[in-house]
Copies of this chain bind each other. A is one copy, B any other.
Amino acid sequence: MLQSSTKDTAILLLHCPDKQGILAAVTEFININKGNIIYLDQHVDFVEKEFFMRVEWEIEGFLIPQEKISEYFYTLLGKKYGMNFRLYFNANKPRMAIFVSKMSHCLFDLLSRYAANDWDVEIPLIISNHPDMEHVASKFDIPYYYFPITKETKQEQEAAEIALLKEHKIEFVVLARYMQVLTAEFIAQYPQNIINIHHSFLPAFVGAKPYHAAYERGVKIIGATSHYVTSELDAGPIIEQEVAKISHKDTVEMLIHKGQDLEKIVLSRGVEKHLERKVLVYKNKTIVFS
């Protein structure tokens, strides 16, 4: 992945109530056990009095065996400070599924990065409620599963999709302009692990046809937002946003066209930050480390 060491590393993402000495304690835990820190960033939210941190270190020569790090860390520090923490190893490639409907721009953008080995990720499958994008999947030799969805079949089709995701050990899901609202049951299977692209600068123009709404309102700027999906529509924690200037000359069709460049870049950036383990969610907002 982009910034990772060529060596094997451990990545620790954590947050806890802010207290004196946490950062010192965490870095000492790594240093004392002979871990070579190659990334460290932290943030204190002085309003919430919460401490956030991301640290990455090379695990070659680290005194604690890899499979014991989590336990030791919890025992020695996590418990004491009331930490909410996650530990990752860059050698474990995350497995990601893409959901798509009829538009190819986001799908192509994700897959072209995948094909270029820009990302340390596996994409074992693509799921769609339409058959249209199969030709894209086949270009990249990725299995494409078509699950047509009606009001009546939605529940069972989603259950089948979840079974398929579990079977393929999917860690997180990317909605690449997937034009179906997921049920709360589906979302509950992948908390903070479903990334959506919404084609407006949220919270403006929630819901369907945001470009039409933007045109009607006469805004001078359009945008796109990548966010984690929660059970409330278009209201989950925002990861990335980007905008572009428009003018009275732009028709709805031109907004849709210009917006596609925003959408694909903003979605891919959101996915990349997630893959790099640089996103922490706290109270429906994100901390995105740089």
A-to-B contact residues, CB < 8 Å:
2-3, 20-21, 23-25, 27-28, 31, 37-38, 40, 42-47, 104-105, 108-109, 112, 115-116, 118, 135-136, 139-140, 201-205, 217-221, 223, 237-243, 245, 247-249, 251, 253-254, 257, 261, 265, 268-269, 284-288, 290
Contact = CB atoms under 8 A, between A and B. Distances in A.
A33 to B, nearest CB: 11
Contacts of A135: 115
Contacts of A204: 201-204
A21 to B, nearest CB: 6
A254 B265 CA distance: 16
A254 B2 contact: yes
Contact of A108 (B116, B218, B240, B286): B116
Contacts of A257: 2, 118
Given A43-B248, A115-B136, A253-B3, A28 B38 contact: no
A104 B115 contact: yes
Given A21-B27, A220-B241, A265-B265, 15 more contacts: A2-B257, A23-B24, A24-B28, A45-B248, A115-B139, A201-B201, A202-B204, A203-B204, A218-B238, A220-B239, A220-B288, A248-B285, A248-B286, A248-B288, A261-B268
Contacts of A285: 217-218, 248
Contact of A241 (B2, B108, B115, B221): B221
